[in-house]
Chains A and B, each alone.
Chain A
Amino acid sequence: MSIRLEARPQPSRTMIWLSPLLAIGLTCCVAMVIFAVAGLNPLSALATFIFTPVTDLYGLGELLIKAAPLVLIAIGLSIGFRAGVWNVGGEGQLIVGVIFGGWLALNYGPDGGPWVLPAMVVGGAIGGALWAAIPALLRTQFNANEILTSLMLNYVAQLWLGYLIFGPWRDPAGFNFPQSEPLAPAALFPTLIEGTRANASILLALVAVGLGWALMSRSFVGFQLKITGLSHGAARYAGFSPNRAVWIGLVAGGLAAGIAGVGEIAGPLGQIFPTASPGYGYAAIIVAFLGRLNPIGILFSGLLMSLLYLSGDVAQMSLGLPSSITGLFQGTLLFFLLTADVLIHYRLRSSTVATGAIAGSAK
């Protein structure tokens, strides 16, 4: 008897939502193996890893403040992913959002005014969208693969920010550390919950969830994007422009990532560092897929990924493991998700067919 995969007549609706849970469960198993190899009690280490970060109000605030950019970027990326536009440049678009928003904050923040923060959000959105427009232009004009161009632009954006922070934007009173001046109070998001760092940028993420849902589930533009992603032939036949889908998909991701960048410098960071993002632009790709490209699903998967970031710190502080374990678990999670997704279209069958004579016995 052997186990084989058999195509399902229709994709399983249950597995679409069960698959992420399965992936989370399997990732926990891998985590326990790693803890055991490191000489820890697997169960208690896992419990520490998962629950310690969120045992107090401050921890919950941290969870929200890290989930906000992940959710925001993932919503933007999911619009493109639904249309078959593979924007993996969220990180670079976030950084350009930081540069645009940061320029406004450094130049106009000290003079104050209630318009500074909204201008930073708009500026960051424009910056991210412009950065995403480059791969869109290259794709629609020259058919250049947007995966490669958007990915490579991440490094360009990173170096651009590095140049600014090591050069013109370096804080003269910063003891030569690579960092900007602290942003003025007018350029910072107000704190939402006393005693935590949770600020109003969380509300932006929630608004994005609502807008993303309305766009993808209710609007005709969202329908056109979905058709383009599912079937180029059907989209062409119906008259939905593939180039328009590329533009919408990339620019939506750029807008969201740019705003997320502003949320970082105007929120928890409070000033600009060369490493403005701990890889949110990449992690958001996992968040988007873990959430099934569905805004509500993304909300939950964003919280989960945020927890993984916090747990990484816990792993370093109380378990004696390197914090890069976060990246390891993120990768494991995506790996298991993609594996479990096979079961959406296939099911396991044990085959009991005898392996008898096969070749022609009569010659």
Chain B
Amino acid sequence: MPPTGPDSSRLQLRLELRGITKVYPAVVANSGIDLRVAPGEIHAVVGENGAGKSTLMKVIYGMVRPDAGEMLWNGREVHIGSPADAQRLGIGMVFQHFALFDTLTVAENIALALPEKLSLETISGRIVALAQRYCLPLDPARRIYSMSVGERQRVEIIRALLQNPGLLIMDEPTSVLTPQAVDTLFGTLRSLAADGCSILYISHKLDEIRALCSSATILRGGKVTGTCDPRGESAASMARMMIGADIQPIRAVRSAATGAERLVVRNLTLAAADPFGTDLDTVSFSVAGGEILGIAGVSGNGQQELLAALSGETPLADAQGVLVDGKPTGRLDPRQRRAIGLCSVPEDRLGRGAVPSLALADNALLTDNRQSSVRAGFIRFDVVKAFTERCIAEFGVRGGGPDTPAGSLSGGNLQKFIVGREILQNPGVLVIAQPTWGVDVGAAVTIREALLDLRARGCAILVISEELDELTEIADRIAVIAGGRLSPAMSRATFDRDAIGLAMSGEWTAATQTQGADHVHSA
């Protein structure tokens, strides 16, 4: 007997949100959000970073209490106070960042999360049954550390499914998957939906949403800006709802390769410092001036180790290991490498690329040693301030001046500042990791154009990215890193998503010789 239920003439909604509002001290994360999800529906929640998607999901999953609004589950009003409440109702969630114990087995990890106490054998039996039903091959006795990211995601999905959810929330699930693994995931989600489980699919990748979802709610600045059937929309029309303006296509810039190799790495082999890190195994490549080399791959395959070896955070034993314009730099520290023109941008902005609590001017000084900002050991504050202001102006950094703490800028603006800071050093070689990760579309365009401009000036650029779309947009050649080994680079003319996807699972000899992608699904 739903006292406040909607007209249940056609069908009862699985979940309905009315006017959900959540205000944080600095920002209104959600403002009067309505959302309706039918049983068995795959419903997309689309929006840029900072649009309020994560807060809304946390409200539904009981991790955040809304300041206003009501929530109806199967037609009845509910108050969800904790994730345990949400699970009791039948809401499951698969997070973007997994919460698994590396040294425990699949079954042990899942047993820890279940409310009732069951024997490991019972749990293993259920895991195998679910795995077969939804094509999620998984060995309950395997330990987590030996699994790929895609396999770990399966553990999270099975863990959520064991509670028989009526609604499964998937937060940016494809950001860590190879293209082939994405196809497998979509198959699983479709068969789940066919069994009546509703799915809330959070993403900013419009192509995926159009392929998978039958309805979508679009958020911008904490408000709903539209609902649509993604199958009937174009990516451009959805993007307009998402960012409120047409996306400016990146200007095409002709390749400016000069032929002279500015960054050369030969047979780089490096044992990882972290026991769960990836050892680099005979990595070789070179980047010419005026060229962008993209390195694709699923995270955790040696990208961090490669970046550290190039930037100088992990000095090498062999000075010849990294050559910049022919100069051996293997043993130099990051500051020395920067002095000869090798600059880098790390993937995490806060806590590595910038110190959140310090002003932008201090953060400019962090890597600025090509601007004579230090004289006789003392800081020339006027030079640093002028440099900071130039960086802010030239790269359209909004939200602060030289005295603003870096942590108060939005992700996109801070990333523009960090990339701008390195570009203004006028580097001969730039190594940049995840240049547009978690950055809004407008800032992403600015950053990619800045990289293309830098390329046109003859800089050799290495882009390490998990976003294949980004690499195909700006890179002249793409190589794939998998298990600490680097594939041969493919040139722009021969980009092939299937081959790159195969290479991501470490199969590039097969990928370059056979065109078949069938054996991936048997993994």
Contacts and interface: CB of A to CB of B under 8 A. Distances in A.
A363 B312 contact: no
Contacts of A357: 79
Interface in A314-356: 353, 356
Contacts, number: 100
Given A234-B366, A239-B335, A362-B89, 7 more contacts: A6-B25, A219-B379, A220-B377, A234-B353, A237-B344, A237-B366, A239-B312
A238 B335 contact: yes
Contacts of A223: 362, 365, 379
B78 A362 contact: yes
A237 B79 contact: no
27 contacts: A9-B25, A10-B405, A218-B379, A219-B377, A220-B378, A230-B357, A231-B352, A233-B348, A233-B351, A234-B366, A236-B313, A238-B335, A239-B312, A239-B334, A239-B336, A357-B79, A358-B79, A358-B82, A359-B79, A361-B76, A361-B77, A362-B73, A362-B74, A362-B77, A362-B78, A362-B89, A363-B89
Interface of A: 6-11, 214, 218-221, 223, 227, 230-231, 233-234, 236-241, 353, 356-363
Nearest to A221: B377
Contacts of A360: 73, 78-80, 85-86, 88-89
A220 B86 CA distance: 52
B311 interface: yes
Given A230-B358, A363-B88, A240 B335 contact: yes
B379 A356 contact: no
A227 B89 CA distance: 47
A281 B354 CA distance: 35
A362 B77 CA distance: 7
Contacts of A234: 351-355, 366
B378 A227 contact: no
Interface string B332-347: 0111111000001010
A32 B468 CA distance: 69
A74 to B, nearest CB: 23
A241 B315 CA distance: 12
A73 B85 CA distance: 55
B178 to A, nearest CB: 28
B408 interface: yes
Contacts of A6: 25
A220 B79 contact: no
A227 B366 CA distance: 8
Contacts of A11: 357
B85 A359 contact: yes
A239 B333 contact: yes
Interface of B: 25-26, 65, 67, 73-74, 76-82, 85-86, 88-89, 311-313, 333-338, 344, 346, 348, 351-355, 357-358, 362, 365-367, 374, 377-379, 405, 407-408
Contacts of A241: 333
Contacts of B358: 227, 230
A219 B25 CA distance: 36
Given A9-B408, A234-B355, A361 B79 contact: yes
Nearest to A234: B355
Nearest to A231: B355
A361 B81 CA distance: 11
A237 B346 contact: yes
Contacts of A9: 25-26, 408
B419 to A, nearest CB: 14
Given A362-B77, A363-B88, A237 B352 contact: yes
B297 to A, nearest CB: 21
Nearest to A233: B352
A329 B370 CA distance: 51
Given A233-B348, A359-B85, A363-B88, A7 B25 contact: yes
Nearest to A240: B335
Contacts of A239: 312-313, 333-338
A238 B78 contact: no
B374 A220 contact: yes
Contacts of B354: 234
B347 to A, nearest CB: 11
A233 B82 CA distance: 34
A359 B84 CA distance: 9
Q: Which of A9, A237, A240 has the most CB of B within 10 A?
A: A237
A11 B333 CA distance: 33
B355 A237 contact: no
Nearest to B334: A239
Nearest to A347: B25
Contact of A238 (B79, B80, B88, B366): B366
Contacts of B336: 239
Nearest to A359: B85
A9 B338 CA distance: 33
Nearest to B363: A234
Contacts of B65: 353
A11 B408 CA distance: 11
B73 A219 contact: no
B217 to A, nearest CB: 23
Nearest to B348: A233
B96 to A, nearest CB: 21
A328 B26 CA distance: 41
Q: Which 6 A-B pairs have the closest CB atoms?
A: A239-B334, A239-B335, A358-B81, A362-B76, A233-B352, A9-B26
Contacts of A10: 405, 407-408
A301 B78 CA distance: 55
B379 A8 contact: no
Q: Which of B74, B81, B352 has the most CB of A within 10 A?
A: B352
A231 to B, nearest CB: 5
A245 to B, nearest CB: 13
A239 B377 CA distance: 16
Given A237-B352, A361-B79, A219 B378 contact: yes
Contacts of A237: 311, 313, 334, 344, 346, 352-353, 366-367
Nearest to A8: B25
Contacts of B378: 214, 218-220
A325 B15 CA distance: 64
B73 to A, nearest CB: 6
A6 to B, nearest CB: 6
A362 B366 CA distance: 55
Contact of B78 (A7, A231, A233, A361): A361
Nearest to B381: A218
Contact of B79 (A230, A236, A353, A356): A356
Nearest to B74: A362
A240 B369 CA distance: 12
Contacts of B335: 238-240
Contacts of B334: 236-239
Contacts of B346: 233, 237
Contacts of B67: 353
A227 B73 contact: no
Contacts of B88: 360, 363
Contacts of A219: 377-379
A186 B89 CA distance: 85
Nearest to B88: A360
Contacts of A8: 25
